[in-house]
Amino acid sequence: MKKYSKIYIVFLITLIMLLFLGSIGNTTEQAVMLEYWMWDPILRAKTENVIETFEKTHPEIKINLTTMEPADYWVKMRIMASTKKLPDVFNMSSGYIEEWSEAGFLFDITDYVNSQLTSEDYLDLFKAGIEWASTDKVYAVPFGLGLTVLYYNKNMFDEAGLDYPTSSWDWNDFLNAAIKLTKDTNNDGKIDQWGFWSYGRYAHVDSWIFRNSGSLIDRANMKFAPDANAVKVMQFLDKLISTYHVAPMPKDMAGVRQQDIFPRGLAAMWVDGAWNIENNRIIASSDMNWGISEVPLGPNGDANSAYGWSDYIVMSSETKYPNEAWEFVKFASGVGLSLDMFMAGKVPSYKPLAFSDEFVDKTKQPAEMGLLLEIAGKTMYNSFTKGWSEWRGYGAAETMGLNGLLDAVFNGEMTLDEALGKAKANVDQVLDRLYK
């Protein structure tokens, strides 16, 4: 009897050990799976490298990455937010933080940030995120700074005998160059080389507005109220097309991606986001020499001002794994990043990257990459509000909003006064709805 009792005890011990070892194996296999969404599919491969590095040091966490075009991203994200199915971690624009934090979509990471991050390691963007959220709480960690610049074709400047743009350029300097750079190269009566290219896009227009100390929104009353400095900018941009004939109507460039017009050599100058440096390097021919400069300063502008904003990484308030999500946010906004993770021209918020020799790499075009760090040190302005994408005309709504109205002006289909009158009604309707 004792013999069987001993056998039974040994059997139980063996069974318990097997169950215990099995539970350890299951724990290892059952890693937490986080969903991470971001825009810019062009960065997918680079982001996958970051994820791979993270997973090696955090084997208990797995990341499932989804990328999509910006125009589709925010449409899909709104649907996900309305159904409470947001991914655990996702990229966030400055233009949405106020609206999304107030709606309760974003996780309050204040305690995480205060206890685990050193804000001095980042460009001064945490404060901006707090201001956009209209609260003293932190909902987002900055990972990149978006700036705008003046792109210029050095070959075309050389052929015209012109000096390259500098930070001291004003509107007259710009206009004089644009006139000389606009050419009918084969004398067929049609312009083959435009001095400049622009349409109603936010980065094309607002860059000039804030370099002329202008504003579009009366923030005290949350109304659309372009001041005289802003109106002067829009008049100037319209005249570049209608009066000086140094830029084409937007409709004349239909069929060409707007970001390809400059690198394809169709225009000598162009104002847009510095992140287009990446596309320029891909599209421009190997013998095209080009550079960047600051957006020309307006007659009422402040040289210390710039149009810019930060991109952030955030956590969903619905995430079931806040600690694990935070570990990835912390990693993907700082120590886990490398410069190849960024579209060329995006300034990393993490200072060790931004101020590295690798970032200011003069072996690649443009040679003026250091200028981006100078601009990053200036006072940043923009027009972000709740509903900004709707009233400004962004992403999927680009043909509508202020963007669409300005395109109508630049296409000669509407006067600027008419466009601003319609914009007033449209924008105020959006702002009244969201700022009750």
pLDDT truncated to tens, each residue of the chain (436 aa)?
A: 444 455 555 444 554 454 444 444 444 458 999 999 999 898 898 899 999 999 999 999 999 999 999 889 989 999 999 999 999 999 999 888 889 999 999 999 999 999 998 878 888 765 655 565 667 889 999 999 999 999 999 999 999 999 999 999 999 999 999 999 999 989 999 999 999 999 999 999 999 999 999 999 999 999 999 999 999 999 999 999 999 999 999 999 999 999 999 999 999 999 999 999 999 999 999 999 999 999 999 999 999 999 999 899 999 999 999 999 999 999 999 988 888 778 788 899 999 999 999 998 888 999 999 999 999 999 999 999 999 989 999 865 667 899 999 999 999 999 999 999 999 999 999 999 999 8
Return the SS3 of 316.
strand
- Establish if 67 belongs to a structural domain: yes
Nearest to 283 by CA among 153, 398, 195, 370: 153
- Establish if 430 belongs to a structural domain: yes
Q: In Å, how far from its chain's centre is CA 69?
A: 12
Question: CA 176, CA 367: separation in Å to the nearest integer?
Answer: 24
For residue 280, give both structure tokens: 């320029």
pLDDT of residue 21: 45
In a shared domain, residues 246 and 386: yes
- Establish if 254 belongs to a structural domain: yes
Q: What angle do CA 369, 141, 327 make, to 5 degrees?
A: 115
pLDDT of residue 28: 47
In a shared domain, residues 205 and 299: yes
pLDDT of residue 15: 47
What Cα–Cα distance (Å) separates residue 239 from each residue in 47, 118, 234, 421?
43, 48, 9, 19
Stated as kind and residue range, the H or E segment containing 366 is none
In a shared domain, residues 324 and 296: no
What Cα–Cα distance (Å) separates residue 87 from each residue in 58, 79, 144, 298?
19, 12, 20, 43
In a shared domain, residues 287 and 427: yes
Q: In the listed set 331, 358, 376, which residue is the last one of a domain according to the structure?
A: 376
Kindly give the pairing relationship between strand 269-273 and strand 347-348.
Answer: unpaired
- Spell out the residues 6+ positions from residue 149 whose beta carbon is closer than 8 angstroms to its own: 271, 272, 273, 274, 292, 293, 294, 295, 345, 371, 372, 375
For residue 234, give both structure tokens: 């829009």
Work out the end-to-end distance of the chain between its first and last CA atoms, rounded to an integer number of angstroms: 83
Question: CA 220, CA 345: separation in Å to the nearest integer?
Answer: 34
In a shared domain, residues 123 and 205: no
- Spell out the residues 6+ positions from residue 238 whose beta carbon is closer than 8 angstroms to its own: 409, 410, 416
389: domain CATH number is 3.40.190.10
Question: CA 59, CA 31: separation in Å to the nearest integer?
Answer: 7
- Establish if 4 belongs to a structural domain: no
Scan for tokens 């707007």, then name that residue: 258
Task: Centre a 10 Å sphere on the Cβ of residue 66 and count the other Cβ atoms it contains.
Answer: 14
Question: CA 41, CA 321: separation in Å to the nearest integer?
Answer: 26
pLDDT of residue 199: 96
What's the whole-model pTM score?
Answer: 0.85
Q: Which residues pair with 286 in a beta bridge?
A: none
| Whether the Cβ atoms of residue 226 and residue 406 lie closer than 8 Å to each other | no
Q: In Å, how far from its chain's centre is CA 114?
A: 25
- Establish if 387 belongs to a structural domain: yes
Stated as kind and residue range, the H or E segment containing 88 is none
In a shared domain, residues 244 and 116: no
In a shared domain, residues 185 and 260: yes
In a shared domain, residues 295 and 230: yes
Q: What angle do CA 96, 100, 101 make, to 5 degrees?
A: 115
- Establish if 179 belongs to a structural domain: yes
- Establish if 19 belongs to a structural domain: no
| Phi-psi sector, 160: left (phi>0), alpha (psi -120 to 50), beta | alpha
Instruction: Give the count of domains, the chain.
Output: 2
In a shared domain, residues 54 and 162: no
In a shared domain, residues 261 and 340: no
Question: CA 94, CA 339: separation in Å to the nearest integer?
Answer: 21
Q: Establish whether the linkage from the previous residue to 366 is cis, with ω within 30° of 0.
A: yes
| Phi-psi sector, 222: left (phi>0), alpha (psi -120 to 50), beta | left
Task: Centre a 10 Å sphere on the Cβ of residue 76 and count the other Cβ atoms it contains.
Answer: 12
Nearest to 322 by CA among 144, 166, 136, 116: 116
Question: CA 346, CA 147: separation in Å to the nearest integer?
Answer: 7
In a shared domain, residues 279 and 215: yes
Question: CA 391, CA 135: separation in Å to the nearest integer?
Answer: 23
- Establish if 160 belongs to a structural domain: yes
Q: Which domain holds residue 302?
A: 147-307+378-434
In a shared domain, residues 172 and 134: no
